[in-house]
Structure 1
Amino acid sequence: MSRDKRLQDRSIYPHWCTDTVRFCDQDAAGHVNNVALCAYLETARLTFMRDMGMMGGNPDGTRGISAGMTVSFLAESHWPGQVDLGTGVIRLGTSSITVGSAAFKDGACIAAAEMTVVRLKGKTPHPIDEALRAHLDKYRLKGFSEA
């Protein structure tokens, strides 16, 4: 799914944050390496989860955890600079959400990902309540319909 061209379109993302390209993010050839790209996408996912109230510390004991990530590396990138990170909801399940995210630098989409987050209470999947579902629904990616 992360090769889906729609994920490479800046205009579909309702949630944004940034990260800094560090000198140490480069490989021996001077390209930003795949581990750094995944770290940028992790920043996007975790910032989104925090802003949606899905991190730990909720009074009811619920939290969201990563259950998987499919990423495509789409273009070379280099130090220095900033990456713009867009994120939004692709699908809402019973106790999980699938988010799409992309990293943009110097006008190019350099990586795109599909990431699944499961809502847990303790170690057990916990249903997404109606209030959270309504909140998450406002962050659906443009052009993706409920599957």
Structure 2
Amino acid sequence: MKDPNAGLIPPGLSWVLVRLDIHFRSELHWPGKIELGLGLVKLGRTSTHFDQVVFSEGVCVASARAVTVLVDETSRKPTPLTEQIITNLGPWWRRNIEHD
């Protein structure tokens, strides 16, 4: 979401992480290779909800739900998602999630 070329951060706005729920499912040891997954599961008026997963050797070792809110950098108040942001988030939808 931080990449300026993705069209997700209009000037004067920024994303704030407001909630992160993590479920540690299994041990993970260093060193090792991991695979990460991320998918948008819900859009609120001012927020996004993403599911995240971490896999090691084909086993899901952690899963999380993260909620971010779009805020005005001056007022620090939540700001509604623009149509452009909603459109640009399109490729991030998690598979098998129905959305508008």
User: What is the TM-score of this pair, normalised by structure 1?
Assistant: 0.59
- Percent sequence identity over aligned pairs: 27
1:50 is matched with: 2
Residue correspondence of structure 1 range 1-147 to structure 2 within 5 A = 49-51=1-3, 52-54=6-8, 58=10, 60-122=11-73, 123-146=76-99
Query: In the TM superposition, what whole-angstrom CA distance separates every residue of 1:74-132 from its partner, at most 9, and x where no partner exists?
Result: 11221111322111101011110000100111111100000000000120101111111
The amino acid across from 2:79 in the alignment is H
Q: Do 1:54 and 1:64's aligned partners in 2 also have CA atoms closer than 8 Å?
A: no
Gaps of 5+ in 1: 1-48
Q: Deviations over 1:21-77 (max 9, x none)?
A: xxxxxxxxxxxxxxxxxxxxxxxxxxxx2244556xx5x211101000111111122
Distance 1:103 1:53, change over 3 A: farther
Equivalent residues of 2:8, 2:89 under 8 A apart: no
CA contact (8 A) 2:8 2:85 kept: no
SS at match of 1:134: helix
- Give the Å deviation of 1:142: 0.9
Contact 1:54–1:119 (CA<8 Å) still a contact in 2?
A: no
Distance 1:118 1:145 in 2: 21
Q: TM-score, normalised by structure 2?
A: 0.84
Amino acid at match of 2:47: S
- The number of residues matched between the two structures is 96
RMSD, matched Cα: 1.9
Contact 1:54 1:62 in 2 (8 A): no
